[in-house]
Amino acid sequence: MASPVNLRSSFSSIPRSSTDFRSSSIVPFTSQLFFSVRPGRSSRRCPSRALRVRSIISDRDLQDPASGDDFLDGINTFSVDSKAIERRIKFHAEFTPSFSPEHFNLPKAYFATAESVRDELIRNWNLTYDCYERMNMKQAYYLSLEFLQGRALLNAIGNLELTGGYADALTKLGHSLESVARQEPDAALGNGGLGRLASCFLDSLATLNYPAWGYGLRYKYGLFQQNITKDGQDEVAESWLEMGYPWEIVRNDVSYPIKFYGKVVVDSNGKKNWIGGENIKAVAYDVPIPGYKTKSTINLRLWSTKVQPQDFDLSAFNAGDHTEANQAQANAEKICFILYPGDESVEGKSLRLKQQYTLCSASLQDIIARFERRSGNLVNWEDFPEKVAVQMNDTHPTLCIPELIRLLVDVKGLSWKEAWSITQRTMAYTNHTVLPEALEKWSLDLMQKLLPRHVEIIEMIDEELMNEIISVYGTEDLGLLEQKLVRMRILENLDFPEPVAKLFVKPKKQKVKSKEKILVESLLPSDIVENEESEAQAASEEVETEEVETIEVKTEEVETEEIETEEAETEEVEIVEEDPADKDPSFLKSDPKLPKMVRMANLCVVGGHAVNGVAEIHSEIVKDEVFNDFYKLWPSKFQNKTNGVTPRRWIRFCNPELSKIITKWLGTEDWVLNTEKLGELRQFADNEDLHKEWKVAKRNNKLKVVSLIKERTGYIVSPDAMFDIQVKRIHEYKRQLLNILGIVYRYKQMKEMSATEREEKFVPRVCIFGGKAFATYVQAKRIVKFITDVAATVNNDPDIGDLLKVVFVPDYNVSVAEALIPASELSQHISTAGMEASGTSNMKFSMNGCVLIGTLDGANVEIRQEVGEDNFFLFGAFAHEIAGLRKERAAGKFVPDPRFEEVKKFIRSGAFGTYNYGELMGSLEGNEGFGRADYFLVGKDFPSYIKCQEQVDKAYRDQKKWTRMSILNTAGSYKFSSDRTIHEYAKEIWSIEPVLLP
């Protein structure tokens, strides 16, 4: 690692490290932020250290720069008054320019504002990590391929308690805080719940003062920007980095080598060396993550990839072969271009595997460098698990396991036994899915080509696993042992090692004769011997023996007719010999027709000390079904950690009106940190004054969404209609198709009624969808197309008017969610039971006073328990019924509801345009076959779903009842704070403690 940047002498009292955020261009400010110790939590306090700094940069008025001789006073305080904030914004507008100096327009105002906030974050970050370096406590490292951060400005100034000061300062500068904040693009570092959960966890880690760090990749173009056209979803590259990202700090002195391809050779000392191949380097970009009402500011380190300048082929460029000249750089850079590049091709699969390995290798090299630096001259590798906890968020970081072993064995010189023990005690794995296609498997051939050393290590881990299975289950029941080995192996469809294969070879019985008989037979003609052998075989009894003695025959001159055989007893014994007919049971050999695969989830379970699901029902499915064999082998490894969301972003900042009401009625703002206090709202659930305030806040939020919908889609909707929202990744198991089919049924009913009947039967609804379908997921894209076609028909039908509107909000992201969720009244979480691990949007909706309709799936189960059964609309089959229902379908016994058949017929009639929806409807028909047979049970749950929707309409007509349900949802959401989840991870998996800064 390169030496740290030489900092200004005013920071000489602080130890320097290559991870510092300090830079000579940063004005040092000292915060007066209130810091509170969380009650009831054990913590360690960082020893205080005197910090004396002086002003080194003048703070000049940009309107009259020449006259600005004012220096910041003392700099031992960070002034939070609006005038001081205004000066800092103006300073950055002049001296940290990203735009031309002529005008202080909105984009320039955003960058200057963000940079002024970043100054304080950097200072707090330095204090945080100076403390961590000196105390050398155990630290958690959270590795995730996604971090869906959203906009940072409002969250940062909210956590720093500077919202009012910045609002006033920007008003004086001619802009509103909201208009400036809207200039920030969402950081395109994730897609859905996986990435948003990771970001919520970072917020909670910082807020709760836990020593931790996040690691991810810096995607240049994100997943994609979603446009909606007449043909459905259209994908274009995201442009979030086009104007720069003021929250990140590039660390050109923090980079690590990453290797692909090549070969493994053994040197004269027997040491393995991975040589040759393609070499790139990963460069660190740091994003500070502030805690709420605390100086603790942790780090999200993102890796970007490039090569050394000397890898640019200057000769080829000068010869006119420009593409070839830049090939190495292009290959390196494309690793971090796109989140989840299409993997239909071998090149796409290779790129995805490169992404995962880059994240793992760069992060672990960084973690090891930090461990060694903190250890000083006394590096004890046995202490590594006592100082480092690595959490793998899903299977994407699985290569951390073989990579840590490689680094410890090949680079640091540890033995296999030492490295394997350290790795298992360091790693932990969070499972996020029960879907087979999401439990990653990688081609062994591809991995062998790309990461040859890691394949060797994985093979050794696989052997370790098989040996343990054999030691536990023994060889008495070979059928059971076979099942365990086949299901639990890390390597799928690979020949079993010879020592294991021999256990399954059936014995063949063979007679061994006495030495006297052998001597006789050696002197007889061969035809006589053969005849006697056959007779003896028929008559003799077989005796088993463990060993066959070596037989020595002494040559003597004898005549055949004179041999005495009275004393020669024929001994017949059995020896174990391979029987060609049973030599290779089918499971011992690979099937050449099938690919050899690496089961990444199995590797995660074997290579770590903890495995957790993310909701109670999901964790039970993980133990009972997904990893049942592993659970029986290592029951203590398995835990539940129900997901949570940060109450700062997802209610305090995104829903300020409701937050003020909650604070008023609870008499304190402590609920933002201690969400248990939200439960106290139950005592006011019937209070009419609270009802009035609650409804006003909800309607104001709905008015904002009315404007958003008009801006994004052109549709005009009524704020007086119920806002019914389903926003999440488009996937068949999440069943947006069930939702839109229910809407089609509703629309068909309306069309068959008179205007008066429609008004009497139906509550006005605005049905809002949002979410991205992966570019290669054809069926999901058909669903998006269908929703937009239904919207185009329904929204332009004068007979229906405001009774029903359908809206698909394009390019759904965190910022859109922050607008939609506070305005929601009904939210749909309707996945096939047993298929959603947890969900987190359901928690956000409930927290904001939204009533849920859903199946007993994921965290829905626990939400329903907490908010009360009467405040949750339940429908659909239960998780334990799903397997039987699919068997019923396969047997041809399922009879669809007539209303379901009517809906499909109505769609096929062309009511929603000329697009052929045969493939989409066909997926719901038939009894078996890929892409058919309604695998996600849309038809089965349809009658229950539409009946439940009738109950929703009935409840919404009684606004007093509905408002009470809304209040009780917020009151019951207290459990679903990510603060609670992080406390559980910290205590039960990572073994880390909070650290209080001075």
Active site amino acids = 432, 728-729, 734, 840, 844
Residue 109 and residue 357 in contact, taking contact as beta carbons nearer than 8 Å: no
Residues β-bridged to residue 250:
285
- Are residues 805 and 828 in contact, defined by beta-carbon separation less than 8 angstroms? no
**Residue 589 to residue 540: CA distance in whole angstroms:** 37
The DSSP code for 924 is: T
Contact 807, 767 (CB under 8 A): yes
Can you tell me which residue has the tokens 């950097």?
122
**611 touches 395 (CB < 8 A):** no
> Residues, the chain, total?
998
The one-character DSSP state at 363 is: H
Rounded CA separation 623/643 (Å): 17
CA atoms within 13 A on the CB side of 212: 30
CA distance 913 to 309: 55
Beta bridge partners of 808: 769
Kind and range of the H or E run holding 970: helix 959-971
- DSSP one-letter string for 764-821: -EEEEEE----TT-HHHHHHHHHHHHHHHHHTT-TTTGGGEEEEEESS--HHHHHHHH
Secondary structure (DSSP) of 555-583: -----GGG---TT-PPP-EE---B-GGGS
Radius of gyration of the chain (CA): 34
Q: What is the DSSP string of 405-446?
A: HHIIIIIT---HHHHHHHHHHHEEEE-----GGGS-EEEHHH
- What torsion do the CA atoms of 205, 207, 211, 217 make, to the nearest 10 degrees? 50
Determine the residue type at 700: N
**Which residue stretches of 223-378 are H helix?**
314-318, 322-325, 327-333, 346-375
Phi, psi (deg, nearest 5) at residue 796:
-110, 15
> Under a CB-based contact definition with an 8 Å cutoff, are residues 708 and 717 in contact?
no
DSSP strand pairing (573-574 vs 597-599): unpaired
CB 858 within 8 A of CB 840: no
124 contact partners, CB below 8 Å, separation of at least 6:
31, 288, 290, 295, 296, 297
Contact present, 775 and 237 (Cβ < 8 Å): no
Contact assessment for residue 743 and residue 903, using Cβ atoms and an 8 Å cutoff: no
> What is the rounded distance in angstroms from the CA atom of residue 444 to the CA atom of residue 402?
14
* DSSP code at position 849: T
3-state percent helix, strand, coil for the chain, nearest multiple of 5: 50, 15, 40
Half-sphere exposure of 691 (CA within 13 A, CB side): 12
The three-class DSSP label of residue 851 is strand
- Which candidate, 54, 56, 51, places its Cα nearest to that of 74? 54
Q: How far apart are CA 190 and CA 134, in angstroms?
A: 34
Q: Which residue has the tokens 């968020």?
A: 393
